[in-house]
A and B are shown apart, each in its own frame.
Chain A
Amino acid sequence: MLVHSRAGRWAAWGLFGLLFLPLFALPLLVVVAASFATYWSGALPSGPTTANYAAAVRGESLQALTTSLITAVAASLLALTVGTWAALAGAALRRRGKRLLDALFMLPVAVPSVVVGLAVLVAFSRPPVLLNGTGSIVVLAHTVLVTAFAHRSVSAAIVRLDPAYEQAAASLGARPAYVLWRVRLPLLLPSLTAAAGLCFALSMGELSATMMLYPPDWTPLPVRIFTATDRGSLFSGSAVAVVLMATTLLVLLAVSRIRTRASYR
């Protein structure tokens, strides 16, 4: 306890509320409020309606939602595979090799997402691989962007792993592949699911790289929100944004339940 006087404590809480509520709580509330409104000309939104949601779950918006879900699931699975493989292989390397591998896999975080989008667009619009105009170019770009996060959280978990388990398994005659499949991966499962949730959330909200290379028939939710608000349909855009937030939260919640069940094993 830093402040002992009652008045001082209330002053600190007052300052906190004054900063925290308008800056962090208000934006999310405002988007939710706007998604139920038809116009907003006074202090509060008016014309309560659910028409925005009716529009947000059919037609192009529904297509954008499924596009986003497919992209996020595919990119997360790819990123998790590559990132976990790299983290496991890196743990077996010597110090210098491990540091090189870590730096290599962190690089996509340091490079601006817009540049990642531009680079993937330039590289796959020419032979030998032509992907421009297909949905898979979006999936590829998302994979590049989220692999770094998968790699980082899995390699942090590998460092904390108790080597006694795998040594015991190996001393009982288990082959390396068996130790990996039956001992190390199950022990890593909580961090794998956490990494999957993180990758999914990042991919669902990705806009920068996507804007560079999305084809007209593969528009994820963030692009859909942008085109709606850019046209001036702020309220239907808000409803789509709420759908995006709710989907992300639901998946994160589901993933955290898997994690708690796995950690009881």
Chain B
Amino acid sequence: MPRSVWALPPVVVLAVLFLYPLALVVQQSLTPDNGGGAFDAYARVFGSRAFLDALGTTVWLAVGATLGCLVLGFTLALVIAFVPFPGARAVAKFIDVFLSFPSFLITLALLFVYGTVGMANGLVTEFTGAAEGPFHFLTTPWGVLLAEITYFTPFVIRPLLAAFSQLETAQLEVAAGLGARPARIVRRVILPEALPALGAGGSLVLVMCLNEFGIVLFTGAKDVTTLPMLIYGKAILESDYPAACVVAVVNIAISVGLFGLYRVVSKRAGA
């Protein structure tokens, strides 16, 4: 009996639970059970304003959140690793715990911080006596962007801290001894070492932002629709399964393509 036979049972389980359902989604998008010719659903969805809007919103939110996470994560990781303070290890531990919580908790928290009756608006109205606070961005795409940056930054910090711990501190001392200022050391010594980790963390965050659902759902904004929200709306709220399957196929194509890119980048980074 060849050894590869042992790989069959888990592959069969995966095929039944995951590959067969996925194939059905593709099949439903092409030839729906309830009639309609091939590609009818595609023509209908691609021609609709809502789909194009959702696609645009999804992409710009994901790209914006990824850039934000990279800048913020790099800054924070830099301080944790190279300007250590008492409690820096506790902060690293806290970040690990943060990762095990679901994303929608961040949106829930932001409702209390920046919501119409929240901390920030409460502070302002108490001081100025105005009837309403100035913060109303939570139900706009900016609220989603803030929540995504908050939730996904730890996914950048973690690989960066791992990469920084490999860095020879003597290099920094030598550079400083030769008269390089901190900004120059960061640019010329630390950043080149961190690039692979930044690439790997950034592409992972990009994929996760494209697929994020909980944060957008909890925001409850009518005008912020991303691809996963559109799938949920079409399938569950409108019971339009063919359209949901079409959007799903588009979403799969984008995120599997990007995930393949992430695998290539992280292999290069040796992660």
Contacts and interface: CB of A to CB of B under 8 A. Distances in A.
B254 to A, nearest CB: 9
B154 to A, nearest CB: 8
Interface in B1-27: 3-4, 6-7, 9-11, 13-14, 17-18, 20-22, 24-25
Interface in A84-134: 85-86, 88-90, 92-93, 97, 101, 104-116, 118-124
A27 B228 CA distance: 25
A89 B7 contact: yes
Contacts of A9: 83
A31 interface: yes
Contacts of B54: none
Interface string B27-64: 01000000000000000000000000000000000000
A31 B108 contact: yes
Contacts of A51: none
Contacts of A97: 4, 7
What does DSSP make chain B's interface, helix, strand, loop or mixed?
Answer: helix
B235 A41 contact: no
A111 B228 CA distance: 11
What does DSSP make chain A's interface, helix, strand, loop or mixed?
Answer: helix
A43 B251 contact: no
B17 A144 contact: yes
Contact of A123 (B21, B75, B97, B258): B21
Contact of B111 (A83, A104, A105, A234): A234
B104 A207 contact: yes
B142 interface: no
A110 B236 contact: no
Interface residues of B, number: 89
A229 B104 CA distance: 11
A237 B104 CA distance: 12
Contacts of A112: 210-211, 213, 227-228, 231, 248, 251-252, 255
A27 B106 contact: yes
Contacts of A109: 259
Given A207-B102, A245-B101, 20 more contacts: A1-B83, A2-B190, A25-B94, A27-B105, A28-B109, A31-B112, A40-B117, A82-B13, A89-B3, A93-B3, A105-B14, A115-B231, A118-B25, A118-B245, A121-B235, A122-B24, A144-B17, A208-B213, A234-B112, A241-B108
Nearest to A32: B109
Contacts of B166: none
